[in-house]
């Protein structure tokens, strides 16, 4: 079979020397499966300075690659019957495995034009059939992207890879990511190879691998999973979309509250009545429990439901002196009824006095019980404000909380 012909138009021909060093790719060139020809536009310039770029019309920084040397390099390339020209720029379509499969199977020649980071004359675009990008980032030129493409195509050519069966199941070929691989030893640093792979039951192994491919793709690349599933059965698309949304359905919320320290009021934090050395307590319509309030605000915030003022308005006499722990029960019920589960809670109370450390564990247990959670996912911390600000001057006590919710 005649070699697959790769022609690259680049101002940095030496960049491609390393392709020969690339194991199977290098061997594919050596054994005549593919051949590569580099064309430097500079070689087509007659002037003394061999200038290939010029200032942009309309002004602006940088230089622009001129069309003439690129056209000449392009026109010097001998053509095979089935040929395709691809321009590498950050403005191109995303490169996909299906493109590599298509180029390697349907053509016998690929001409790659490497763009330059400072820019190239727009008329160069008229030479190309396709424009490709290797990702949403900008490199100094199209050389590295061209090497990515060459590597991806050459490995698909018959004879390059020893076992062509391995090309069928690899990530992206079947539309799914590849299943996990294991080799000896059967146990390594406490991690054991799944029993099924050592069972010798080929049917069981094949179905385990297929299941792993599906799970992996669903978890790691929901976008690919939707596409793959839609191909299996397009009518399933709405259901799949919903199931993928479920995987990525996390919500985070933040809450903050501060109450004034006054005399003649109880000091209740995290549902626990504390003694302030000066007999102060927190002023507010309810029991002014800043810790519970900030957690409720975070829960409501995560679901974009507003704040506690909306659910328990201070002007409503119903909530006068209310136990905030009871309000927390109501908020949790709301969260659960909306189909969400609390993953974890983290809060920090800012108070100069009294010392909160001895009560922290009790607060955690109290809150966890109220929220129907394990106390291991509820964290309460306390800090002073180093005598700074309203908390430091003991004018008040504040709290900040963060919660993470997961769609059930
Ligand atoms: N040239 C510069 N950046 C590029 C990219 N991300 N993809 C393809 N060609 C490029």
**pLDDT confidence of 21, banded at 50, 70, 90?**
confident
- Give which of 153, 156, 133 is closest to 144, Cα–Cα: 133
Pairing of strands 109-114, 83-94: parallel
Residue 238 binned pLDDT confidence (cut-offs 50, 70, 90): low
- The rounded Å distance from CA 228 to ligand 1 centre is 27
Please choose from 62, 87, 142, 147 the residue to mutate so as to test ligand 1's pocket, defined by most ligand atoms within 8 A of CB: 142
Task: Name the residue among 38, 31, 33, 34 with its Cα closest to residue 7.
Answer: 38
pLDDT for position 245: 60
The lowest-confidence range among 66-70, 200-204, 232-236 is: 232-236
pLDDT band (50, 70, 90) for residue 243: low
> What whole-number distance in Å separates Cα of residue 405 and Cα of residue 408?
9
Alpha-carbon torsion (273, 274, 279, 281), positive or negative: negative
Taking CA atoms, 380 is separated from 91, 348, 365, in Å, by: 49, 6, 10
Q: What is the per-residue pLDDT for 400?
A: 98
Contact 359, 272 (CB under 8 A): yes
Residue whose structure tokens are 């493409």: 149
Determine the pLDDT at residue 47.
Answer: 87
For the cut 70, the answer to whether the pLDDT of residue 241 exceeds it is no
Of the listed ranges 58-72, 158-172, 180-194, 276-290, the least confidently predicted one is 158-172
The SS3 call for residue 258 is strand
Spatial distance between the Cα atoms of 242 and 339, rounded to a whole number of angstroms: 14
Where are the domains positioned within the chain? Answer: 4-154, 173-247, 250-407
Contacting residues for 356 by C-beta, under 8 A, at least 6 apart: 269, 274, 349, 363, 382
Give buried/exposed letters for 102-126 (b at 16+ CB in 10 A, else e).
ebbeebebbbbbbbbeebbbeebee
Residue 94 Cβ contacting ligand 1 at under 6 Å: no
| CA distance linking residue 191 with residue 199, whole number of Å | 17
Residue range 113-137: mean pLDDT, rounded: 92
Any idea which fold 4-154 has?
Alpha/beta knot (3.40.1280)
Provide the pLDDT for residue 247: 58
Is the domain defined by 173-247 classed in CATH 3.40.50.880? no
Protein residue with least CA distance to atom 9, ligand 1: 89
* Largest interatomic CA distance in the chain: 95
What integer pLDDT is reported at residue 364 of this predicted model?
96
Q: Determine the straight-line distance between the first and last CA of the chain, rounded to whole angstroms.
A: 57
State CA 179 to chain mean position distance. Answer: 20
Alpha helices, DSSP H only, in 22-142?
A: 23-30, 67-75, 97-106
Instruction: Please check whether residue 387 is in contact with residue 393, taking contact to mean a CB–CB distance below 8 angstroms.
Output: yes
Which of 86, 117, 145 to mutate for ligand 1's pocket (most ligand atoms within 8 Å of CB)? Answer: 145
Task: Concatenate the DSSP letters of all residues of 74-89 into one string.
Answer: HHTSPP-SSEEEEEEE
Mean pLDDT of the chain: 91
For residue 378, the cross-strand partners are 345
Q: What is the mean pLDDT of residues 94-110?
A: 96
As a whole-number percent, the residues of the chain with pLDDT over 90 amount to 70
The neighbouring-strand residues paired with 398 are: 258, 350
CB 357 within 8 A of CB 310: no
Query: Which 8-state DSSP code applies to residue 11?
Result: S
| Residue 294 CB neighbours (<10 A) | 26
* 292 and 367 Cβ atoms separated by less than 8 Å: yes
pLDDT of residue 172: 76
| pLDDT score of 315 more than 90 | no
pLDDT tens digit sequence for 259-275: 999 999 999 999 999 99
Which residues are bridge partners to 8 per DSSP?
38, 112
How sure is the predictor about 356, in pLDDT bands with cuts at 50, 70 and 90? Answer: very high
How many angstroms does the Cα of residue 89 sit away from the middle of ligand 1? Answer: 4
361 CA → ligand 1 middle, Å: 54
For residue range 208-226, list pLDDT tens digits in order. 999 988 888 888 888 888 8
Mutate to test the pocket of ligand 1, among 139, 147, 149 (most ligand atoms within 8 A of CB): 139
Q: 90 in ligand 1 pocket by Cβ < 6 Å? A: yes
Rounded Cα–Cα distance for residues 287 and 289 (Å): 6
What fold characterizes domain 250-407? 60s Ribosomal Protein L30; Chain: A; (3.30.1330)
| Cα–Cα dist 148/86, whole Å | 13
Tens digits of residue pLDDT in 222-231 = 888 888 888 8
Structure confidence at residue 244 (pLDDT): 61
CA 278 to chain CA mean position, Å: 51
Query: Which residue's CA is the nearest one to ligand 1's atom 4?
Result: 90
**Going by C-beta distance under 8 Å and a sequence separation of 6 or more, which residues neighbour residue 300?**
253, 255, 306, 307, 308, 310, 311, 331, 334
């Amino acid at each position: 079979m005649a070699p697959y012909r790769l022609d690259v138009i680049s101002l940095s021909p030496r960049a491609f020397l390393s392709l020969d060093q690339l194991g199977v790719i290098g061997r594919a060139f050596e054994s005549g499966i593919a051949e590569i020809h580099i064309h430097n536009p500079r070689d087509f310039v007659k002037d003394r300075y061999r200038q290939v770029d010029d200032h942009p019309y309309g002004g602006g920084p940088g230089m622009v690659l001129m069309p003439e040397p690129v056209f000449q390099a392009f026109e010097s390339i001998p053509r095979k019957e089935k040929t395709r020209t691809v321009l590498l720029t950050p403005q191109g379509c995303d490169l996909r495995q299906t493109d590599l499969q298509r180029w390697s199977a349907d053509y016998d020649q690929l001409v790659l034009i490497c763009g330059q980071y400072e820019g190239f004359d727009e008329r160069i675009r008229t030479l190309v059939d396709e424009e490709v990008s290797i990702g949403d980032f900008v490199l100094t030129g199209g050389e590295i992207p061209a090497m990515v493409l060459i590597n991806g195509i050459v490995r698909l050519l018959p004879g390059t890879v020893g076992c062509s069966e391995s090309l069928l199941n690899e990530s992206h070929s079947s539309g799914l990511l590849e299943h996990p691989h294991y080799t000896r030893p059967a146990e390594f640093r406490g991690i054991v190879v799944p029993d099924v792979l050592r069972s010798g039951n080929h049917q069981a192994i094949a179905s385990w691998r297929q299941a792993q491919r599906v799970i992996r793709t669903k978890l790691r690349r929901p976008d690919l999973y939707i596409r793959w599933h839609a191909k299996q059965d397009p009518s399933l698309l709405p259901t799949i979309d919903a199931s993928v949304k479920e995987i990525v359905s996390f919500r985070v919320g933040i809450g903050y509250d501060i109450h004034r320290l006054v005399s003649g009021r109880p000091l209740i934090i995290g549902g626990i009545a504390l003694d302030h050395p000066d007999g102060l307590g927190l002023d507010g319509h309810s029991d002014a429990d800043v810790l519970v309030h900030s957690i409720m605000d975070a829960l409501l915030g995560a679901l974009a439901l507003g704040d506690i003022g909306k659910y328990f308005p201070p002007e409503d006499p119903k909530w006068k002196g209310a136990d905030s722990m009871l309000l927390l029960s109501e908020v949790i019920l709301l969260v659960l009824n909306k189909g969400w589960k609390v993953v974890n809670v983290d809060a920090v109370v800012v108070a100069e006095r009294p010392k909160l450390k001895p009560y922290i564990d009790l607060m955690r247990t109290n809150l966890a019980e109220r929220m129907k959670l394990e106390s291991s996912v509820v964290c309460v911390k306390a800090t002073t404000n180093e005598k700074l600000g309203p908390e430091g001057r003991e004018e008040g006590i504040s709290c900040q909380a963060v919660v993470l919710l997961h769609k059930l």
